[in-house]
Chains A and B, each alone.
Chain A
């Protein structure tokens, strides 16, 4: 019995392997040339109501019809895309990707270079943001869609009660955290979340870190460096003192704490109002937005948490039309307005300020909300992501999870050493040249 089906199995297995091999060696698709050709494009995005935005485009461009395929979020969409690229088919024409994922996607040959098609919209974006889609090269791999400049959100009633002002510097923030926690031991001005590597990256960016860098033909990794160490030991110090919490964000517990007034501040980004509206709805009208606390108040800087760009995949047969669409989507004033109102994103384009006039609903009595956000996005410090951001982020989760649990400031800075080593080892192991 056993001997009779083994050959069959072997044949089937071989067939599977050969199909896999045949697919992966397929060449880049040919470009369509006929300008009047009717094309339909698929677009993977997780922003809400994006089909409303594309409907406006479809109405004006009968020959280029875009269909939105809603994704669960940044991580699952990237995993799906990489699988499709590996399989040789199944990728969409147009893909939304967070800035930190772009190097990974480019290095997996998932995003096409569209410098020729969209190079002209470069001037409509802040230089720091544009750098994120070129990776410092001549190529352009995507067009920036939204950005997430860091801002500080706090309960103005609690600050008033304690006689505090919105913190201008990180020293102010530490003092405020201590005062609030002393006055009411149940209250914290914030928490250090070991599950949110993106926020920590933004904080490091603000302090002047840039974790990856290109050095000729080699990558450099600069995680365990003074700028990031300063940030890690600052937060470690606050956790060790016990004046801020050490539990992760985005848990049912954290939601409850925001809502019942035990978490009274949040270092977050421009999109925070949407989150607060969901988690802290009972506290509406009590929150205020402010610029980030600074390391050096004379030279204000900020980092980013979140934000994404839209690119054309290497499997698209209609690169030109797809590029046309994403240029319109992210720089045309009409589209920006739709992005802001329908999809609830904070557009990365310089013109964003023009379309965002009234504050978000949760901050309806703070008319200068978008003025603060606009100021913040101008202060974005440059930051380069590398090809293995996910490795660094999962190393962050593990190392800082332990550190936060131990409540020792020293453990926070030691965690950076672990992150640095894990990230460098991974690059070397994949065959990248690593400088320094």
Chain B
């Protein structure tokens, strides 16, 4: 009982989110129109409240058996902040649907609750964000699986309900997304079972301790491989990236923004946790504990192919949402470099040379930072697309729609410029600092793992070349918006909050990039990712086993 209470006490922020989601469900179906219209407000209030609760109670400063230790608090806070931004961008999405308008407009009659999606939309948004927060707190394979699914399932519905019924696009992409999502879930669930089969544990600490004692068996490696490949769906990485462009194009722009950040964040967190499990090989030179050889090459391969495919295909797209979809694939590739070099640092660098300065050397911290950098820039770009619409009411989707927007929408053109330039990684915006971090950590991994130093440097060069390639399509966006001929093709979409969201994102990109003392986020990321003693020493491990034997599933053999 105490254990459960103990666990619960770390979940107050998530519980707040769930309560808020229920409040959204109720508010969205209220008989009073004013209350119904206030649903996004309820969602925002929930996010803020959850943040307050997190700061007040939920901080795990040291490593706790609840998973990623201090990283969890950083991630939860980041998700809440980005969630707030995403609610800004998502306002007005469902209000403006034909069926919702029709359900509202019946003079004198009660409204048609079946056609009003506000409740579901915002509640599901909160559910999905809760899923990411739970992923960040996951300490157990079962928990991780449930949290990942909680992140994804609501998004299927959000995609389906985000656009008018008569256009089949959203439905089509929702179905695609759902089936492929289910497939990927099956893949990583299978991986999880293999991990369990190999070690006999589902709890991360126990698995990690077991692997450290007995080495990573082929079964274990296979299990992690399958899990990683399955999670690649969430982060839209090769080989599970095929859905990305279609789904991003089919969903309404604000939902696309959501898809571009939230599942990706969950996937990255899951990868950090999963690749922390099989740290077994001991580097003969530095004594570093590192990933087994096959996994190093697996993740490196996925990273290399993902960024290259994303950028190469991004170049040939003509639909802006598809361009940004491929850009998001490419950025997953960049982040995977950080994911790969993250575990190298675990303990080793500091043990080898306690005086060494590791502030720029931590790959996991780089990913934590880059996730925010990427999120802000991408959401900013989508907010710009969402804040405009074509004269015929259609979404802004092609390059031509943006042409010459500098003259008609100077402010949003500025936001687009900042976001896109940050995505390119040009200084002094946050994307640049993020790339600096990733590259620095990739070099530093060569210190503790000299055997693969060439591989990591190769990835750096590839990352650089890919950034150059990505400038091709990013610059096309800016070029069209600033140099194109304005034919008056777009008007304001009439949702001022989306503009606010975009401007906030752009300001944050600037403030976290080239502003004096902008290092706060970098510092927070580093402190969050500093290797804690999550992998408990063997002596304590025995106690832990006894203490938690109640949770342990029956022996597999």
Chain A partners chain B: no
Which residues of B are interface residues toward A (Cβ below 8 A)? none
Which residues of A are interface residues toward B (Cβ below 8 A)? none
